Chain A
Amino acid sequence: MSSKHLLTRIRTLVRPGLQCPLFKNGCRNPSFLHELQTRDYSDVPQQIPAAPASNPLPVANSRSKSSLKPAEIKKFAAMAETWWDAEGPFKPLHVMNPTRLAFIRSTLCRHFGKDPLCARPFKGLKFVDVGCGGGILSEPLARMGATVTGIDAVKKNIKIAQLHADSDPVTSSIDYCCTTAEKLVEEQRKFDAVIALEVIEHVADPAEFCKSLSALTSSGGATLISTINRSMRAYATAIIMAEYVLHWLPRGTHQWSSFLTPEELVLILERASISVKEMAGFVYDPLTGQWSISDDISVNFIAYGTKNSE
């Protein structure tokens, strides 16, 4: 099965050091291409009626360029007030923050050739945080020296983010804006790093969304995306645990069918001219209440890629 190749590749991605040579040839592999064509993420979005429950792939529902999913936007608008409540619905993001930032720091320091021991390694670099919510990620990035633009489709989120960032001169320089990635593309904005964490599972068409992210990334820049895997374990962990057992998240926050697997994410990024260089998983230890970086990408994972020069 061709998916085997993909899996091999994914595995090499999560083990830095092994990734490079395999990677370059991997995407020219004929069976790999074949696999690509048979997936739903072809250039022409297919009109598929309501996806049967067994269909493992999320489906783009229209040709529309907007990434907005009205139901998702409504959900986040209703939760806006709770962004900075460390014990509130966004607790998982707060707890996971240092871990994912450690990954971002290490990959981007390497990518941009910055000193990882420096307090503000991203000084002089322009980052965009797509789907920034209340700014949980934007603020640390600004403290690490980046010139940050935070965008979110929900106006309330932007207001909360702005208010919170204003209390500290370092973060008050963040440029928050209620807009979407595709609108920034129209404005021809470019960034050294484009970061969209835990957003892609909420957008209308992940493939189109990735194309927008790619268009925002300047040549030689980096793109980082994190999301939840569409695996049984992810289903159990992310949805059952977070929404039903621990009551971290309001029920219905996640729609399983809109999750991507790491293979799919690599594919659609590839087709948007972004080569994924590294992947890592985040695993939660319920005993310590801590997250850590791991090569287990079966639940939460993050991908770092570079923009292929055009």
Chain B
Amino acid sequence: MVGMALACSLANMPLTNQLNVAIIDSNPALLSGACIKKEEPPDPRVSTVTPATIAFFKDVGAWKYVEQHRHAYFGKMQVWDYTGLGYTRYNARDVNKEVLGCVVENKVLHKSLLSCLQSAATQQKIYPFRLSSMTMQTSSSSTPHGSLARLDLSDGNSLHAKLVVGADGSKSRVKELAGISSTGWKYSQNAIICTIEHTEENQCAWQRFLPNGPIALLPIGDKFSNIVWTMNPEESSTRKSMSEVEFVKEINRALDDGYGPRPTSQQFGGKSPFSLLTTDTTISTNEGFEVPPKVTRLASERMVFPLSLNHANSYALKRDVLIGDAAHTVHPLAGQGVNMGFGDALSLAKVIAEGIAVGSEIGEVSLLRRYESERKPANLAMMAILDGFQKAYSVDFGPLNVLRAAAFQGAQYISPLKRSIISYASGEKRFPLFS
């Protein structure tokens, strides 16, 4: 997905659109271009794309294809927890935005990027094969391909390239072949994802913290929503195999009527513990807690994913660079994974364009490091936030709940802080626009 975004971005800039781009992906869905039927319920694999990602898609000309398919903008978000001590509502208006984000099926994002690429009159070719090995030739070798990287594909052919971009996901073969090490750990937690149906359309993103992890309910258009529910592995196997009716009951308990009371706005006697710090108490403060819509039916299979965090120790070597999940894998808690990847794609495309402008060799490590130094701090910051988030909410410490609630209340009351939380989560920060 992120690799396609890079290809689109390169095809879209006059400095880079003459590059000879080969896309290698063994995933058959890439070539089939299967049409997506609107009548079918949405796929459980979805992404919450941020306004920054939407802007990027619009820029490369892919967003118009997304709009032809199912997608759901949302302008409101409510986060609360099972203790009933606090809640926060985020509103797009708080940050002078139309929307906080948009939920789109991964296959729609993928297909839109593909359509965008096919409509660009540039030289890219899709190779529907697996990458089996990769060698860097030294400059002293007297082959006609000089010091290029050589890629061997599963069909027995090989390609030569000035630059290899590893956009091959969390189990990146490119990363492995390049010998790039990474740091990471697994959480002993799994996420169940699935599509569910309501009786009416959902227009808000909901997230409730439960003793064993959060459950998120994201609108995906029509009367459907997507569930990302984090829990311990035993629970996930029970919940995956239980009957659909039972499972829907469990979801409704998790979203509303189980584990604890609904929060009220007046929990701290009408005054936030942070109220002393607050100079302007504004906007959604007055918005009361809302109850998420009831789930009536399961509309897809239940998929289980283990949660893990992984970060490549280096993003760039000579002729080799990593983007997207190949460089960093995060758990789906805040729906940031793919947005971080699109941020990488934009940054790398920009760095390549700047390099071409001054006649640099695009495989030169000094050039690629500029991409690394732009993205690594941003990605690490996001990973630290997500990891901290995960740690803070995965265990049920009594006192911590109060703090957590206070934090919610604080976020609710201190609106400049809240504004910056939203703008970070919506990918606005660290997204230097191509000038």
Which positions in A face B, CB cutoff 8 Å?
A: 86, 94-95, 97-98, 101-102, 105, 116-120, 139-144, 164, 166-168
Nearest CB of B to A166, in Å: 7
- Secondary structure at the B interface, as helix, strand, loop or mixed, is loop
CB-CB contacts below 8 Å: B242-293 with A = none
Given A119-B18, A166-B146, A167-B147, A140-B366 contact (CB < 8 Å): no
How many angstroms between the C-alpha atoms of A181 and B423 in the bound complex? Answer: 58
Are A143 and B139 in contact, with the CB atoms below 8 A? Answer: no
Are A97 and B14 in contact, with the CB atoms below 8 A? Answer: no
Does B415 sit at the interface, judged by CB under 8 A? no
Given A119-B18, A167-B147, A94-B358 contact (CB < 8 Å): no
Does B357 sit at the interface, judged by CB under 8 A? yes
Contact with A along B345-366 (1 / 0, CB 8 A): 0000000001111111100011
Nearest CB of B to A109, in Å: 10
Closest to A142 in B: B359
How many angstroms between the C-alpha atoms of A99 and B321 in the bound complex? Answer: 23
How many angstroms between the C-alpha atoms of A144 and B358 in the bound complex? Answer: 7
Are B359 and A144 in contact, with the CB atoms below 8 A? Answer: yes
Given A119-B14, A119-B15, A119-B16, A168-B146 contact (CB < 8 Å): yes
Between A and B, 10 residue pairs with Cβ closer than 8 Å are A94-B366, A97-B358, A98-B358, A98-B360, A118-B15, A140-B358, A140-B360, A143-B360, A166-B146, A167-B139
Given A119-B18, A167-B146, A167-B147, A139-B358 contact (CB < 8 Å): no
Closest 7 CB pairs of A and B: A140-B359, A167-B146, A101-B358, A143-B359, A144-B359, A117-B14, A98-B358
Are A139 and B359 in contact, with the CB atoms below 8 A? Answer: yes
Given A117-B15, A118-B14, A105-B358 contact (CB < 8 Å): yes
Contacts of A98 in B (CB 8 A): 354-355, 358, 360
Contacts of B357 in A (CB 8 A): 102, 105, 116
- Secondary structure at the A interface, as helix, strand, loop or mixed, is helix
CB-CB contacts below 8 Å: B6-20 with A = 14-16, 18
Of B139, B356, B361, the contact of A119 (CB 8 Å cutoff): B356
Q: Residue among A95, A164, A167, A168 with the most chain B CB within 10 A?
A: A167
Contacts of A140 in B (CB 8 A): 358-360
How many angstroms between the C-alpha atoms of A143 and B359 in the bound complex? Answer: 5
Interface contacts beyond A98-B355, A101-B358, A142-B359: sample of 16 additional A-B pairs, CB < 8 Å, sorted by A: A94-B366, A97-B358, A97-B360, A117-B15, A119-B18, A120-B18, A139-B359, A140-B358, A140-B359, A140-B360, A143-B359, A144-B358, A164-B139, A166-B146, A167-B139, A167-B147
Contact with A along B191-231 (1 / 0, CB 8 A): 00000000000000000000000000000000000000000
Q: Residue among A94, A97, A98 with the most chain B CB within 10 A?
A: A98
Contacts of A95 in B (CB 8 A): 366
How many angstroms between the C-alpha atoms of A144 and B355 in the bound complex? Answer: 11
Closest to B142 in A: A166
CB-CB contacts below 8 Å: B137-152 with A = 139, 146-147
Closest to A141 in B: B359
Closest to B144 in A: A169
Of B14, B359, B361, the contact of A101 (CB 8 Å cutoff): B359
Q: Residue among A116, A117, A119, A142 with the most chain B CB within 10 A?
A: A119
How many angstroms between the C-alpha atoms of A142 and B361 in the bound complex? Answer: 11
Nearest CB of B to A23, in Å: 27
Q: Residue among B139, B147, B354 with the most chain A CB within 10 A?
A: B139
Contacts of B355 in A (CB 8 A): 98
Nearest CB of B to A263, in Å: 29
Contacts of B359 in A (CB 8 A): 101, 105, 139-144
Contact with A along B18-47 (1 / 0, CB 8 A): 100000000000000000000000000000
How many angstroms between the C-alpha atoms of A166 and B142 in the bound complex? Answer: 9
How many angstroms between the C-alpha atoms of A140 and B366 in the bound complex? Answer: 14
How many angstroms between the C-alpha atoms of A102 and B15 in the bound complex? Answer: 14
Closest to A122 in B: B359
Nearest CB of B to A261, in Å: 27
Closest to A121 in B: B357
Nearest CB of B to A3, in Å: 35
Nearest CB of A to B275, in Å: 41
How many angstroms between the C-alpha atoms of A105 and B360 in the bound complex? Answer: 12
Contacts of A102 in B (CB 8 A): 357-358
How many angstroms between the C-alpha atoms of A141 and B16 in the bound complex? Answer: 17
CB-CB contacts below 8 Å: B311-367 with A = 354-361, 365-366
Are A143 and B15 in contact, with the CB atoms below 8 A? Answer: no
How many angstroms between the C-alpha atoms of A141 and B358 in the bound complex? Answer: 8
How many angstroms between the C-alpha atoms of A117 and B365 in the bound complex? Answer: 23
How many angstroms between the C-alpha atoms of A86 and B146 in the bound complex? Answer: 19
Contacts of A120 in B (CB 8 A): 18
How many angstroms between the C-alpha atoms of A139 and B147 in the bound complex? Answer: 15
Contacts of B146 in A (CB 8 A): 166-168
How many angstroms between the C-alpha atoms of A144 and B16 in the bound complex? Answer: 12
Contacts of B14 in A (CB 8 A): 117-119
How many angstroms between the C-alpha atoms of A168 and B146 in the bound complex? Answer: 7
How many angstroms between the C-alpha atoms of A118 and B357 in the bound complex? Answer: 8
How many angstroms between the C-alpha atoms of A144 and B357 in the bound complex? Answer: 7
Nearest CB of B to A173, in Å: 14
Contacts of B365 in A (CB 8 A): 86
Contacts of B356 in A (CB 8 A): 119, 143
Nearest CB of B to A253, in Å: 22
Nearest CB of A to B10, in Å: 11
Given A101-B358, A119-B18, A167-B146, A86-B139 contact (CB < 8 Å): no
Nearest CB of B to A172, in Å: 9
Nearest CB of B to A209, in Å: 25
Nearest CB of B to A216, in Å: 21
Nearest CB of B to A138, in Å: 10
Q: Residue among B354, B355, B357, B361 with the most chain A CB within 10 A?
A: B357
How many angstroms between the C-alpha atoms of A91 and B356 in the bound complex? Answer: 20
Contacts of A116 in B (CB 8 A): 357
Closest to A166 in B: B146
Contacts of B366 in A (CB 8 A): 86, 94-95
Contacts of A105 in B (CB 8 A): 357-359
Contacts of A101 in B (CB 8 A): 358-360
Nearest CB of A to B145, in Å: 9
